[in-house]
Amino acid sequence: MNKVLRRRARLWLRRAWALTVKEYIQLFRDTILVVFIAYAFTLDVYVAGVGVNWQLNNAELGVHDADKSTASREVAGRFRAPFFKNLGSVDAPETGIRLLDEGRLMVVLDFPPDFGADVLRGRQTSVQMQVDTANSAIGSLATSYAEQIVGRYGLERALGVQELDVDKIHGVPFLIDETRAWYNQNQEDSWFMALAELISNMTLLAILLPAAALAREKERGTVEQLMVSPLSPVQILAPKILAMGSVILAGLAAGVLGVVVGLFHVPVRGSLLLFFGVSALYIMFTAGIGLLIATIARNLAQVGMLTVLVFAPMIFLSGAWTPPEAMPSWMRFIMGCLPMHYMLDAAFGILLKGLGPAGLWRELLGIVGLGAPILGLSLWRFSRQFK
Amino acid sequence: MNLIRVAALAQKEWREILRDRLFFALSFIVPALLMLLFGYGLSLDVENIPFAIQDLDRTPQSRDYAYRFIHSRYFRFQGYVTDESQAGELLSQGRARAVIVIGQGFGRELAANRPAHVQTLLDGTFPYRTQVTKGYITAINTALTRELLAAYMVREKGLSPARAQDAVDPVRLEVRYLYNQGLKSSWGVASKLIMALLLMCPPFLTALGVVREKESGAIYNIYASNATRAEFLIGKLNPYFCIAFINALVLWAMACFLFGAPFKGSATAFLFATVLYVLCSTGIGLLISVLVKSQIAAMIVTAVVTAMPSMLYSGLLTPVSSMNWTARGVAAVFPAMYYGRIIEFCFLKGLGWAYVWGDMLILAGYGAALFAVGYSMFHKRVAA
């Protein structure tokens, strides 16, 4: 009895393996496809990490100084690198507006004629700042830094010191704030960008590759061949997930070890094994989404449109690019239904925060709890379609 | 170029699209639905930051300080924590993005005219959010310091309250937000989404156009026909261009009327630029379709080449000007950046032809180049 069972199991696995090998061969024969998969996991991640910047970086600044006093020069001089780049003076307010319109300046400071005199006399004065907020993220950062600069200047004037040195303040009530950014002390954008891009690309491929592989069989009619072969639906679908998933996982490993850790020096504070384990789980269940798409679509063109419909919200609303806290509640509900949201938290949690399996129960629950029903549904639909 | 043959090819393509009802429906539903989702969801506003307080002082002063954060609309209070490990747990699980630690002796030091210490622990995983959060905290702290100093000057130096107020806050910053007065990210995002979605969806429409016929063998009908290469490509592109252009108009209407993005610029300039941009984005899909050998490859290449860059390198989330040269290079390769500038001029800045013609020229050149490459790479003769 036991022997029979074991023989059957071996046969089952051998058949599934044969199909897996077929998927590998098919995938690797498509050179352009392989090149782009490799690109998505390495070069693309590198460019995103090195190039895309969320900080206020050399914002072009123009100064219209109607005062030309020491005080106005002092304040304007504090708007400097790395946040601002002073491009010199602007002769009239209208010129400033024109340069802002043309996008050649981002910020224009406007000092009133009696600015310096007022500061000396201890009377409150003001400086006008015009800021291009067409991009609200960078616009609000520019405003925030400008307020910090002017606020600091004001406190220094009030205390009558040249430079605000918290160790030298005595005898006045004063708030000394010490800020520490955990997990990414130097606030490297590359750490965040590279990981977010990597996981986005992983999600994209994990949906699209299995979806396309199955839809192609449907379109060409080779799926009929598979149906009349002695293979169960699981045996047909599992090899696709296994073949595509292992390629994606290999790409992920190259991206993490080569780019994220190798080039950007992201500290691996948790276990890499755990990270790849969670990723494998995630890829498997995300592939389920792809297979579900393939059971709905009749041809690859439909797969294309359906995938856009699924992956675009998945990637851009999962909280990678937008702070989840600010979203309306219904949007946060949608976010809670996106497996990638949990994968991101898990990836940042393991790599940057050093979380172990115990701290990841919510993420694991999200990945498995959302993924398993979808994978089950796609299996069910697939087996029903070809009875 | 024989226009009758082009029309015939376009008609064949139209019929194929119309017969695939799911595809046809999706080609309109997908961009509109994504606009709806992203328009509401893709917000970079940092608000409702969950935070916790560790109050080691427990005096009226420290409680007063804590309430400044609890009552701020930028923060959402998650409760008090008692020790650092609890704070660490909240931060590592993402249940708090900031923990404010009020040092011991906070109230006593301030009452005795001495500096008091507070510490802020921030979750640094997403640097942008961290920086904005830090800005809010600094603003609240500076405001409190000013009040303390003013009260001190009134008390110890005998200044009048008004003079003290002037003394602690000698220079005020009056900020004027240009082009987006309410600093609403939905305005900026909605108008820029037209650009991103028109780079994301139309290439998928066309990506399979040529390669599908290659894979199914139907391309041999074209090889054997007297239609020229240019006629074939233009006929192919025609229906997809029309669909994408209708989508562009729908997206524009949604941005204006649903999200209230102000359209102040020249409508003709915008329309003209949109035609060029849609030609470019459908052209990218068609070019990919000509270059690759299988439909799967066409889809993966399209996804990698257009989906991520349309959001990342287009200036939608972060402006191109603050990228470094590598990413700027990537941005310059895609038409989105140029069209994004045109959108900015036409929507938020309310400017017309004089400002946009340069970018329009680039788009026209881009479209022509795409077509030229596609033309030269597409052969009617089967390679031996």
Residue ranges per structural domain of chain B: 3-43+183-377, 49-168
Tokens read off for A174 = 């004063």
Looking at residue A178, its amino acid is E
Question: What whole-number distance in Å separates Cα of residue A341 and Cα of residue A314?
Answer: 8
Question: What whole-number distance in Å separates Cα of residue B178 and Cα of residue B45?
Answer: 17
CB pairs under 8 A between A and B: 425
Taking a C-beta distance cutoff of 8 angstroms, is the pair B51, B94 a contact?
no
Q: Which of A59, A62, A54, A71 is nearest to A150 (CA)?
A: A71
**Interchain proximity B178–A311, CB inside 8 Å:** no
Question: Touching check for B322 and chain A: CB below 8 Å?
Answer: yes
pLDDT recorded at residue A173: 83
Taking a C-beta distance cutoff of 8 angstroms, is the pair B265, B352 a contact?
yes
Question: What whole-number distance in Å separates Cα of residue B342 and Cα of residue B358?
Answer: 10
Radius of gyration of chain A (CA): 29
Question: Touching check for B300 and chain A: CB below 8 Å?
Answer: yes
Question: What whole-number distance in Å separates Cα of residue B172 and Cα of residue A112?
Answer: 12
Over the stretch B144-192, which tens digit does the pLDDT of each residue have? 988 888 888 888 888 888 888 888 888 888 888 877 665 565 667 788 8
Question: What whole-number distance in Å separates Cα of residue B77 and Cα of residue B121?
Answer: 15
Question: Touching check for A43 and chain B: CB below 8 Å?
Answer: no
Radius of gyration of chain B (CA): 29
Q: Distance, in angstroms, between B19 CA and closest chain A CA?
A: 12
Backbone angles phi, psi at B178, to 5 degrees: -90, 145
pLDDT recorded at residue A135: 75
Question: What whole-number distance in Å separates Cα of residue A68 and Cα of residue B170?
Answer: 18
| Residue B110 Cα distances to A152, A155, A163, angstroms | 19, 17, 21
Question: What whole-number distance in Å separates Cα of residue A296 and Cα of residue A215?
Answer: 9
Comparing alpha-carbon positions, the chain A residue that sits nearest to B348 is A134
Tokens read off for A144 = 């925030």
**Interchain proximity A316–B93, CB inside 8 Å:** no
| Residue A89 Cα distances to A60, A104, A114, B186, B259, angstroms | 12, 13, 18, 33, 37
Q: Which of B205, B203, B194, B204 is nearest to B314 (CA)?
A: B194
Over the stretch A92-136, which tens digit does the pLDDT of each residue have? 888 888 888 877 888 999 999 988 888 888 888 889 998 887 777
What CATH number does the domain located at B49-168 have? 3.40.1710.10
Residue A123 has its nearest CB partner, among B30, B50, B166, at: B166
Q: Which residues pair with A85 in a beta bridge?
A: A60
Q: Which residues pair with A129 in a beta bridge?
A: A109, B175
Question: What whole-number distance in Å separates Cα of residue A273 and Cα of residue A278?
Answer: 9
Q: Distance, in angstroms, between B220 CA and closest chain A CA?
A: 17
pLDDT recorded at residue A328: 77
Residue ranges per structural domain of chain A: 2-51+187-385, 59-168
List the 155-184 stretch of A: residues with Cβ below 8 A of B: 155, 157-159, 166, 169-184
**Positions in chain A whose pLDDT score sits under 70:** 1, 162-168, 326, 387
pLDDT recorded at residue A256: 94
**Positions in chain B whose pLDDT score sits under 50:** none
A355 C-beta neighbours (distance < 10 Å), count? 21
Q: What is the dihedral of CA B185, B190, B194, B199, to 10 degrees?
A: 50
Q: Which of A65, A67, A73 is nearest to A113 (CA)?
A: A67
Residue B118 has its nearest CB partner, among A122, A175, A300, at: A175
CA-based torsion, A372, A376, A377, A378: positive or negative: positive
Superfamily of domain A59-168: abc type-2 transporter like domain (3.40.1710.10)
Taking a C-beta distance cutoff of 8 angstroms, is the pair B363, B335 a contact?
yes
**β-sheet with B75-80: strand ranges across:** A174-182, B115-123, B98-102, B49-55, B75-80
H or E element that contains A109: strand A107-111
Question: What whole-number distance in Å separates Cα of residue A228 and Cα of residue A18?
Answer: 16
**Interchain proximity A138–B322, CB inside 8 Å:** yes
Over the stretch A223-260, which tens digit does the pLDDT of each residue have? 888 888 888 888 889 999 999 999 999 999 999 999 99
Question: Touching check for B201 and chain A: CB below 8 Å?
Answer: yes
Question: Touching check for B155 and chain A: CB below 8 Å?
Answer: no
Taking a C-beta distance cutoff of 8 angstroms, is the pair B100, B80 a contact?
no
pLDDT recorded at residue A375: 93
Tokens read off for B36 = 């709806």
Taking a C-beta distance cutoff of 8 angstroms, is the pair B208, A304 a contact?
yes
H or E element that contains A176: strand A174-182
Question: What whole-number distance in Å separates Cα of residue A254 and Cα of residue B203?
Answer: 29
Question: What whole-number distance in Å separates Cα of residue A347 and Cα of residue A236?
Answer: 31
